[in-house]
Every structure is written in C-alpha cells, then in structure tokens.
Amino acid sequence: MFKGVVVSVLSCVLFASLYYLSPFLAPLDGEQIFGWRVLVTLPFTTALLCVVKEVAAVRALLARGLKQPVFALQLLLSAALLGVQLWLFMWAPMNGRALPVSLGYFLLPLVMVVAGRVLFAERLTRAQALATLVAAVGVGHEIWQAGSMSWETWVVALGYTVYFSLRRWLHTDTLAGHWVDMALLLPAAIAFTLRAPHSWPLVAEHPALWPLLLVLGVVSAVALALYMIASRWLPMGLFGLLSYVEPALLVVVAWLLGESIAPQQVLTYVLIFAAVGLLIGDGIWHLWRGRSHRLH
C-alpha cells in the first residue's frame, strides 16, 4: 500500500508541475499550449497503451462507434468535455486565474458526491452530507460577495463531473477510453497550433521551447500512467482521499505564480477546506473501521 500512496502523490506532483510549467511556455498562449500538449502527449500515451496491451480495447471502441452513430456522438462529446478541461488547465496560470481553477478542483469531489447520489443512487454518509452543506455555504458566501462564482470554478467543478459521469455511463473509463478522447482532440489541437499567430514558427524561433514541450508530453503521459497504477494498487477509498493532494498543490502553484486570495474570499476558502477535511476524516474513519472488522 505504501508504494501505491507514493505513486499517487507523485502523479499529483507531476500534474501540479504542468500547472507551474505553462507560463514558461510563452510566447505561446493558452490555446496554443493546449494544442501542443495534445500533440506531444498522444505519442507517449500511445506507447503506454501498447505496454499495457489495451490496443484491442481501442479497436473495439472505434468499431462500436462506426456501427452506432449515437455512441460515436457520445465519444465526441466526451472528447470535447476533456478538451475544455485541458485547455483551461493550461490557460488559467498564464492569465492570473490559477486560484479560481484550484477552487474548482477543491469543489469537484463534493459536486461528484452529489452527482453520485442523484445519478447513481449512491448513499451519503452523515459526514459527506455535512461536507456538502458546508461547501454549499462557502459557494453561497462567494456568490454573495462577488455576485457570482468564477466561471472557471464552475467549468471545472461541473464540467469534470459531467465528463466522469459520462465515461462511467459509457464504460469508457479506461486507458483505451482516454486514448480515444485524446485522439479525437487531435484535429482541434492541430487547428489551435496553426491559427494566427502561427505557433509553429514561434516554436522554431525559440529553441528553449523544444525541451519544454518534450517535458510537457512526457510529464503528461507519465502522470496519467502513475495515476492509473495508483488506482489499481490502492483501496478505492484511500485512492479517492489522495485526490485532494492535487488541488492543494495547485493552490501552492498559484501562490508561487504571484496570485493571492482576496480578504473577502478567505471565508469561502476556509469553508471549502473545512468541507474537504470532513470528507478526508470520513474516509479515514471508514478505512480504519473496515480494517478493524477484517482483523476481527
């Protein structure tokens, strides 16, 4: 289990490093970086696909898409939802919006708890219900202070929930399904790299970008690989708890990039962190209780 924890935390560190890396890819903008990320990540993801021997699963998904037009449209929707998140992840830290996106990642597990209850009839524990209520108070405070929640926060919290729910419903929540999503994003990625101003000459004129783009591709693919390994090595409860490491690191990255929490936003973040703490405490309690029952 210790190895699984290390692998999970390392994947979160790598994802956070991508967040920190994006401003150093200037003069590329957020859309161009999104395009290049897809282009340089797909080859490494393809190699990973071959290593874990899921090529046949990809063929099966594509064959089903060719036979079932509705399923093909659902695959396109899945790819589009992922594309929006990949774009926002690289765009936000370059435009001073890293903290709103980080808040979205903190809210995401809470929104998914609600989605699990509503869409998949999953039961909420008392702690989960209380955490959802506390988070709702935090969201209400932010809306009261600013008139609304940041659109970036909503896109992450709601958009990823829809994406994960759709993949679960379609049974494409595998490496093969992820590869199909990335492959379907390829035309959009190429279009973003070719739009004015043309990014290919920019990359050619700035040799320092070459190794950074290579690092972008390798880190993206390795982070995904470690994330999936951790999901297999760890109990589901512990794996879910460790997902909170990433948004905490994203807040640290936002501070390193010069962003700060406005005084009127402090209560919002305190309430969100409190809700996360409740979920973590609830998860630890159930893991400990489950282990105690097995020992007896």
pLDDT in tens, 70-121: 999 999 999 999 999 989 988 888 888 888 887 788 777 777 777 777 777 7
| Residue partners of 117: CB distance under 8 A and separation at least 6 | 123, 124
Reported as a single tens digit per residue, the pLDDT across 118-142 is: 777 767 678 777 877 887 787 777 7
Residue with the bigger pLDDT between 19 and 244: it is 19
pLDDT tens per residue, range 5-14: 778 788 888 9
Contacts of 185 (CB under 8 A, 6+ apart): 38, 79, 82, 83, 86
pLDDT in tens, 37-51: 899 999 988 998 898
Q: Give the distance, in angstroms, between the CA of residue 44 and the centroid of all CA atoms in the same chain.
A: 18
Task: Using pLDDT thresholds of 50, 70 and 90, give the confidence band for residue 237.
Answer: very low
Instruction: Report helix, strand or coil for 148.
Output: coil
CA distances from 41 to 33, 61, 116, 182, 188 (A): 12, 20, 31, 9, 14
Residues 6 or more apart whose CB falls under 8 angstroms from that of 186 comprise 38, 39, 42
- Helices 30-51 and 186-194, packing angle to 10 deg: 140
pTM of the model: 0.78
